[in-house]
Structure formats: C-alpha cells, structure tokens
Amino acid sequence: MNTISTQLSALRTLPELLAFRVAQSPQGEAYREFDAATGQWKATRWAEAGGRIAQWSQALAAMQLPRQARIAVLLPNGLDAVCIDQAALSRGLVPVPLHAIDNPGSIAYILSDCDACVLMVPSLAQWRAIESVGLALPALRQVVVTAREALPAGIGPVSVILLADWLAAGQGTAHAAQPPAEDELSAIVYTSGTTGKPKGVMLTHRNVVSNVLAILERVVPTAGDVFLSFLPLSHTFERTAGYYLPLAVGSCVAYARSVALLAEDLKTVRPTVLVSVPRIYERVFARLHESLAGSAFRTRLFNAAQAVGWRRFCKVQGLPLAAGEGSAWAMLDPLLWPFLDRLVARKLRAQFGGRVRVAVSGGAPLSHAVARCFLGLGVPLLQGYGMTETSPVVAANGVDDNDPATVGRALPGIEVRIGDNRELQVRGPSVMKGYWKRAEDTARVLTPDGWLSTGDQADIQDGRIRIMGRIKEIIVTSTGEKVPPGDLELAIAVDPLFAQVMVVGENRPFIGCVAVVNKAEWQRLAASLGLDPIAAASLSQPAVRKAALARIAIQTRDFARYAAPRAIFLTLEPWTIENTFMTPTLKLKRNNLMARYADEIDAMYRSPDRNGTPAG
C-alpha cells in the first residue's frame, strides 16, 4: 500500500474524503473553470471549494428533506455540479446525476422513477421542456435554476427558484449535518443503456470509496497533477476516476468548455492525466491519418516512428512482437528514436498539451491500432474495464504493467472468475447494492453471495483479463457463425474513410455493415472515382461500395473469412447523442440504428452481386 492509500485507508464515506482533502491542502488548486465574461481560466482552492459546498449544504438543510431523499442534478461539468453533489452527500441525501444533453422524456422518466425531491437545472427552458413531457412528478418539491435569469411569476405547480435566492434562503440555517453511513447510498446512477429503459444503479459510499482506494493501488495521481474533465459527470467512470479520485489525492480538475473546444483546451490546460473513452482517442487518430494523406514521405516517416516506438514499448513491457512487427534493423532503434521522436512523436503528444503522463481509456473497447499508435509515440495509454454496477473500475493496466491487448489485472480486493458461456463475473466491495426498485433485475445479475454477472465474455490468462464482447451483442448468422461485432467495428474504423461503423447480420446469410463516412476522406475517394461528393446518389454508386468493401477487407484480413462484411451502406449522417444513436459514453445504440436503417439493411441482403453489393 502506497503513502496516500495509507492516509486514506481509514476513510469510509465521500464527505470524509472531502473533509480530509480540505484539511490537508486548503490552499491547493482544486478546480479550474473558464470564465466567459473575462475570457480567462479561474482557479478555486480547496478551502474556497469547501466553503461554497457548506453554503449549498445549508440551503439543503433549510428544506428539511427526509434522509436519503434524491437530489437530481442536471448540470454540466463544473463547480456547481461538485457543490450540489458534495452538499447532498454531507446531509445524507442521494445525488442522482443526469446527462446534461439527455432528451426531456428520458430525464422526466428518471425523475419519476427515483422520486426526486429537488432538481438542479441550468435554465428555466430546460425545466419547461421536461415539464412539457407531462409525466406526473409528485415527489418533486423544488427546481433550482443556476442561470442568472429572470423568472416569471406563477411558473407552474412545482416551485422554481434561482440559485442565488435558494442559497440566500439557507443562510444561518442551524440544522446539524447528519453524515451518511458507509452502507447508505452515495448515488443512484442510471445506466445509459443501448436498449430499453435506463435502470438506476444503487451505489453506496463503501462502493465508491473502496473503488477509489483500489484504483490508487494501480494508478497514483499526485497533488501536482492536472486532470481535464470532459466526460459527463452523470457517468460513473468520470465520477470515480475524474472527480473522486483527484479529490482523494488533491489533484486539480480543469473543466473543459465543450467537446467541440477540447483540442484547444488540451493545449491550454496541458493536463497531466486524461480520463477518456476510446472515441476521443479515435478522433485524434483519424485526424492524424488525415494529415498524412497525400504525402508518401510523411507517411513513411510516421510509420517508421510508430514501428520503432512500438518495439521500444514492447521491450520495456516484456511483450512479444506480433508477426511482421520485428525488424532486422531493430538494433538501430535506440539511435533512430531521438530523431523520430523529435520529428513525429512530439507532435502527437503536443495535441494533448505535451505533458500527459497517464491517459486512461475506459467505457468501451480500444482499437489495437489506436493503442499501438499512441503507445508507440509515447502517449502512456492505459486501458481498463468496468461498469456502472461496479462503481465502476474492475480491472486496469498500470504504467509499468501494460498489455494493451487486455484490460489489465483485477484491482486489489476485487475477485473475478469465468462463468457459463465464458461470462466474466465480479465480486468485491465496489459491486452495487442493486437496481433501484428492480428486485427481479437485481436477482438476475447478482447472486446471494455477491457475484455480479457482467454480460461480457472474457478470457483470463496470467491474471490479465481480455474482454471478448457483450454476450447479447454476439451476431449469429443464419449459417450458424458467431461474430462479436465490437472488435470487427474497431478494426474497420481504423481506415480513415469510416468515422463510425455498425456491423449487422443477425439471422442473415452474411455480415453487412452500415458506416458513416469521414467527409474529408470521402471527398478524396469521390474525386478519385470521378464522382460529385455532394450529390446524394454518389455514396450508393457500385464503384464506391466496391472501394469501401476493398478497404474493409484490408482491415479485417486477420478475422475469419465469414466475419468480413460483404455488403455495405454508407451515409454522411453522423451518429450522436442528440439524435439518439449514441449513448452518453459514445457507445452505439444498436436498436435505434437498426430501426433507422431497417430498409437499407434489408436492401443489402436482396440478391447481392459478386462484389457483395446489392444489385440495384
């Protein structure tokens, strides 16, 4: 156990964690936000943050809510979200984090399902949109609007108040705080879900604190580290790894302005720790390859840097090289690397600010091509595995024990085993209490002796866990072949033509593919084929489909022949959270996509010609 873990080992709840941090480093920088009014980044120190949280706690106390009452938080990442979260926890209340850009119907469902008493929203307009859904919310007593705006009189049946007025009403409140017990709820986190209604995962203080302490045995941030937060705080991955973890060690968290401005914020903030989902790394990877297009010399230089860097990484980690990755000239790698580092690798690292010492990837599988590129060029990328139901981290690689083909080893205190159908099962102090109001759903995944069924197929060798794919997502073709779509989609997406990919083929004679094309690469392909890239009909031309399938064949050459897609539909329409085709953690919502492209998918399987594309 390291020094910081020893210091924290006696703490049992999240309010204790905050109190410890404020006492230990009151003048340390806790949070950093961009102030649009001044155009400057503003810092908040731990003592100041503690004082603000105390104000919010008093405002909650003045409402005299019942213990473990639910406080719904529909706020963007930032200090306000931290304040209401910590204030609620200090009063023994239960935060229910909501995604700031979720649709009003989904939010209304969650408010109703969890019987929320208080809702924090950025604007009156957002509350009006939720209210217009028409779902009864009898438990909701107060809506607090954080924006500085005028509220009209007689808004509706639920009391609506501005944040400043709500805080003022709590001043001087004498109600003593009743801190939570470790087995009381610290949050109800609703799974974004790729299908069906979201379920509320009940996480206790013990669940979350134990996960923070376990992570610290694998990855150790310091008080001098700077995190850049851009994943939604409504997701457990960001809550634990990007919020509670830096709080525990006293690191600063800078809140990105938006995903759209992330590239600029990375260069300004220059974080030392990144917590991200694969999609962000994939975007950087795609832009990198776009920048190489048309320059054979730059492409050769990049490939050389990546190959040399990867061999260096494998040597340090004691990993075997795959066939074709070795070189008769490998003895020259130590001499070549300084030159290649200066010309190629440093430029990639500069995209992240130039001083990242730990880059964590979780929430979904990471493409080997992306991992090989980043690790080879000196970005210390660590893949892990977890789920909301495990608070969330189950396993992770370490800086000195990093095999990117796996999600690493189980964290200390967490047991893993392989059950029926190769399903990964998990047991430990971070496993959830259960699903809110769903005893039957809980019993289906959680045994009486604490083993959680993850729904993921896995393999464990030498303590390292390799995730094979979601059991429910395995595609079974009409010929009986079983194809896990995740790895296939990751492989295809390495080609810069494809921005997003979904493979299909359940009960069909072969595997097909629906893909969103990258506009810049599509323009290059269209020009090479003499087509107008703007014309809607161009994407469906047989020559385009043939070219796309040829590129897919290259990326899937290491898969079984039956797994390679034989038909494809291309689109320029991106899949986003807003159009309901992606979850908040940027996973595909397969049911929604299958419904959207039902006709196009059916057309793939009508009389395909010898190239695997529909005839007419």
The string of pLDDT tens digits covering residues 235-259 is: 999 999 999 999 999 999 999 999 8
- DSSP character at residue 181: P
At residue 584 the predicted structure's pLDDT band, cuts being 50, 70 and 90, is confident
Q: In the chain, list all ranges with CATH 3.40.50.980.
A: 3-219+227-241
> pTM of the entire structure?
0.85
In the predicted structure, residue 616 carries a pLDDT above the cut 70: no
User: What pLDDT score does 607 carry?
Assistant: 54
3-219+227-241 folds as Rossmann fold (3.40.50)
In the predicted structure, residue 611 carries a pLDDT above the cut 80: no
β partners of residue 43: 32
β partners of residue 476: 482
* C-alpha 299: how far from chain center: 30
Phi and psi at residue 179, to the nearest 5°:
-60, 155
User: What pLDDT score does 578 carry?
Assistant: 84
Angle in degrees, CA 123, 127, 132, rounded to 5? 145
User: What pLDDT score does 149 carry?
Assistant: 86
Buried b (16+ CB within 10 A) or exposed e, 174-205: eeeeebbebebbbbbbbbbebeeebbbbbbbb
- DSSP character at residue 243: I
User: What pLDDT score does 194 carry?
Assistant: 45
Report the sign of the C-alpha dihedral through residues 371, 387, 582, 143, in that order. negative
d(CA 397, CA 385): 9
Q: Does domain 475-604 have CATH number 3.40.190.10?
A: no
In the predicted structure, residue 325 carries a pLDDT above the cut 70: yes
| Average per-residue pLDDT for the chain | 92
DSSP string, 342-399: IIIIHHHHHTTTS--SEEEE-SS---HHHHHHHHHTT--EEEEEE-GGGSSEEEE-BT
At residue 410 the predicted structure's pLDDT band, cuts being 50, 70 and 90, is very high
At residue 420 the predicted structure's pLDDT band, cuts being 50, 70 and 90, is very high
Percent of the chain with pLDDT over 70: 97
Structure tokens at 14: 């999240």
Q: In the chain, list all ranges with CATH 3.30.300.30.
A: 475-604
Nearest to 456 by CA among 442, 471, 443, 445: 471
Alpha helices by DSSP H, listed for 134-230, are: 163-169, 205-216
Q: Range with the lowest mean pLDDT among 149-163, 187-201, 435-449, 570-584?
A: 187-201
